[in-house]
Structure 1
Amino acid sequence: MTTETAARYTSSDLLDYYVLRAEADPGQLAGLLVEEFVLADDLAAARLRSAGWTPADGGWWSSAAYARAVRTDPRLRARLAAVDRATAEATYHRLGGGDLPAEEELRGHFRDDVPLATGAPLRLSDGPDVHRILFAGELDDRRLARLGALLRLDDPDGARPGVVGTGRLRVNDTNVRWDLRRVGGGIAWCLDVTAEPAGGDALPWVLRQLIGVARAHGLFPATIERLA
């Protein structure tokens, strides 16, 4: 196990925000969910931290069971929508919470973490490491098309089974590539990300951006694994 470090990205929102809709009335907002992945030194996810707030509960609560349920229960996911911090602030104020605490203060409400396994990957080749971002959630054809466009996916020959498409980006002197795949017998999605040369700041930044794009289209990040 490597030493855990909270990843810091070049992003206005370091935490992930979701608005929660009422179960009886999807048009009515019921609260907020705030999450953060704690990454190991090799950028594999070590822990998922989360906290929720609803006016009915009168304060913030943290539940590992709830965080797991978000990844396994489609009905619960249907009540959540990814938002940016500005929208979370407006929602919190509208529901009577006042000013949304700063992100460092929100981290103080993370009390019941979900541990995620990390460790040295099995070395299968001499190629670059792969960081696999696993997502729960469903994509209809419209969302998949929009996500593919934003991810710059291109796989015209369809030569690699299971790969929906491949995107590429050069960040400074680093070439980054990602493959969107359907996994888990069709019940989940993943992005397999490689960066060459390894090291530097490009990979953590790209991982953060890719997670943000996927969240905006209804996918929920479940973990980040380091493969080889």
Structure 2
Amino acid sequence: MSLEQSFRRLAIRSKPICQQCRRSFATSPATRQQSNATAAVADLFSSSASQSTNTATASRPTPSTTASTPSSESPTESPNFTLARSAIKLAGEARRLQVQRQLALDTERGWNRQDLERQAAHRKWKAGDVYAPHDLTSIEMAKWKKLRRRSKPKYDVVDQLNLKPIDLYKNFSIMSEYVSEMGRIKHSNETNLRPVNQRRMAKAIRRAIGVGILMPSTHRHPEILRIENKTGARGY
């Protein structure tokens, strides 16, 4: 083997080694930059953690100091509390200004008929009622608004007493309990009867009206009407 062939073999073998060297040289700055960046971030985190621990230990009071002197900072002096208090104050002032503005507009506009009708809608007026101007004020109307209605029964009377409404159509005192002042059958919301018993009671009331026990227009018993006709006193 000659020297020329051996040199050629060395040249051929050194080619991949040179490529690897070039590749390593080309990629080494990037990896070095990445390692430097990660090291810097790690140093930053470690320094911030050490600072937080130092501040926590410095701000932590000792038992002797807490026992000797009370804390100067109160929860009311925190920035979150002051922001919440200012927000509540602003909301209350805005609401109060709106109410005052509405009152001023109402006083400038004056009262009209619709306002008075809306105000007097709580009282059920009847023909012949005597009233004073003071009775039309909002204070008196609010009293009528607070009056409680007649409480409806909580139980089904027909089921509790085991009654048959169709057999009681002659008893006008029972029938009149389920008829309104205008001669109409009351709704089940007022009678609190089951649907079956409500239909039975309605059938008994219609039979009583058809027979003449309950007059359909006056919701009065004929005997009561006869007595009123004799005495001349009519309450309807």
TM-score by length of 1: 0.19
Q: Which has the larger radius of gyration?
A: 2
Hey, which of these two has a bigger chunk of helix by percent? Answer: 2
Relative to the length of structure 2, the TM-score reads 0.19
Q: Which has the higher contact order (CA 8 A, sep 6+)?
A: 1
Structure with more strand by fraction: 1
